[in-house]
């Protein structure tokens, strides 16, 4: 028996239909219907009668729902007990494309509110996969996850900043004159395809500048190191300018007006609440 299928069945039974359950679970109705049917095939019985009025539990379905409620109630108790034993450890995944200076304050706030923060780095897909497998409690990523996640997983915007272009001191000084038209033809160390990159490309088109995207890399620290070597320019949050100058000797060329970089926290409601509480406590 697949417990994810059991969870889907329970959600449909509680909400009374495929459509409202699919909306809550962020699945398409056909996908959810197929998952429920797979559970029925595993049991060898029908759990619902599909009528014009909607989904009605069969006798077997009512038995399954009773046990499902007990199983997930015990699961919640187990999670609470384990969290108590682990001393409020928070396992955080940070997307490698996030500049360290923008993620560090969030991690520091969590470290101040939790006994222990365990940090992992990876791509958006790798981290969301780990979150689904319950290997992470929270993921800091540049975009909310479009993938179907468990019903208790939420996504919230936790940081937002303007975006600027950076390069070695010499290159930045040359490109700062007549910015942004000076960017036309400049070698660009690009981030992987994302909403932010698309926003940058629209902004560049609007100012008549076309960058030469010679390198595409998803690791912000490696991109900054390449820029320091004079390979090209990078786009990064304006809030990271001090760190980029100190650590990589990069200087700002100019700001992409209207373009913003975001950090979203994706995880269980408890993990999101803990981060929000940490931020609120620091600001108080």
Does the pTM exceed 0.85? no
Question: Which of 120, 130, 148, 163 has its CA nearest to residue 263?
Answer: 163
Q: Which of 37, 66, 84 is the last residue of a domain?
A: 84
278 in the same domain as 149: yes
Q: Which two tokens stand for residue 34?
A: 């197929």
Q: Are residues 141 and 127 in contact, defined by beta-carbon separation less than 8 angstroms?
A: yes
pLDDT reported for residue 115 = 58
107 in the same domain as 198: no
65 in the same domain as 109: no
Q: Which of 45, 65, 84 is the last residue of a domain?
A: 84
Query: What angle is formed at CA 91 by the lines to CA 88 and CA 95, rounded to 5 degrees?
Result: 150
Domain total in the chain: 3
274 in the same domain as 134: yes
DSSP category for residue 233: B
Q: Which of 56, 84, 112 is the last residue of a domain?
A: 84
Question: Which of 143, 149, 141, 150 has its CA nearest to residue 121?
Answer: 141
The parent domain of residue 42 ranges over 3-84
pLDDT reported for residue 206 = 93
256 in the same domain as 172: yes
Contacts of residue 66, defined as CB under 8 A and 6 or more positions apart, other chains included, come to none
228 in the same domain as 150: no
Q: Domain containing 108 — which CATH number?
A: 3.40.190.10
Is the Cα torsion angle 176, 178, 179, 184 positive or negative in sign?
A: negative
256 in the same domain as 166: yes
Cα 215 from Cα 218, distance rounded (Å): 10
Task: Give bridge partners of residue 215 from the DSSP assignment.
Answer: 189
165 in the same domain as 152: no
Per-residue pLDDT tens listing for the chain (284 residues): 677 888 889 888 888 888 888 888 888 889 988 989 898 888 889 999 887 777 889 999 999 988 888 887 777 666 665 555 555 677 888 888 887 777 777 777 777 665 577 888 888 888 888 888 778 888 888 887 766 555 567 888 888 889 999 999 999 999 999 999 999 999 999 887 778 888 999 999 999 999 998 788 888 888 899 999 999 999 998 888 988 999 899 999 999 999 998 888 888 777 777 676 655 444 33
H runs (alpha helix) in 133-265: 169-176, 195-206, 220-228, 241-248
Question: Which of 152, 153, 125 has its CA nearest to residue 141?
Answer: 125
179 in the same domain as 120: no
154 in the same domain as 66: no
Q: How far is CA 245 from CA 95, 180, 227, in A?
A: 22, 21, 11
């Amino acid at each position: 028996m697949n417990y994810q299928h059991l969870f889907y069945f329970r959600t449909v039974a509680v909400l009374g239909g495929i459509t409202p359950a699919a909306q809550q679970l962020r699945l398409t109705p056909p996908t959810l219907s197929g998952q429920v049917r797979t559970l029925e095939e595993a049991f060898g019985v029908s759990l619902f009668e599909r009528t014009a009025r909607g989904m009605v539990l069969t006798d077997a379905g009512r038995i399954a729902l009773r046990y499902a409620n007990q199983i997930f109630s015990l699961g919640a108790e187990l999670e609470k007990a384990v969290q108590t034993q682990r001393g409020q450890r928070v396992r955080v995944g940070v997307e490698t494309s996030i500049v360290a200076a923008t993620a560090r304050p969030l991690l520091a706030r969590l470290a101040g509110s939790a006994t222990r923060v365990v940090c992992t780095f990876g791509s958006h897909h790798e981290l969301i996969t780990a979150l689904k497998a319950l290997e992470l409690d929270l993921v800091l990523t540049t975009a909310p996850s479009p993938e179907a996640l468990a019903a208790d997983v939420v996504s919230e915007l936790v940081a937002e900043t303007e975006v600027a272009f950076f390069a070695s001191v010499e290159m930045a000084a040359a490109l700062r004159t007549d910015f942004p038209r000076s960017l036309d033809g400049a070698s660009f160390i690009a981030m992987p395809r994302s909403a932010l990159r698309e926003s940058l490309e629209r902004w560049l088109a609007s100012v008549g500048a076309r960058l030469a995207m010679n390198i595409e890399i998803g690791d912000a620290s490696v991109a900054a190191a390449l820029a320091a070597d004079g390979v090209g320019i990078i786009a990064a949050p304006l809030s990271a300018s001090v760190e980029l100058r100190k650590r990589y000797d990069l200087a700002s060329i100019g700001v992409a007006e209207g373009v913003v970089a975001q950090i979203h926290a994706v995880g269980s409601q408890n993990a999101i609440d803990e981060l929000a509480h940490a931020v609120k406590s620091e600001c108080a």
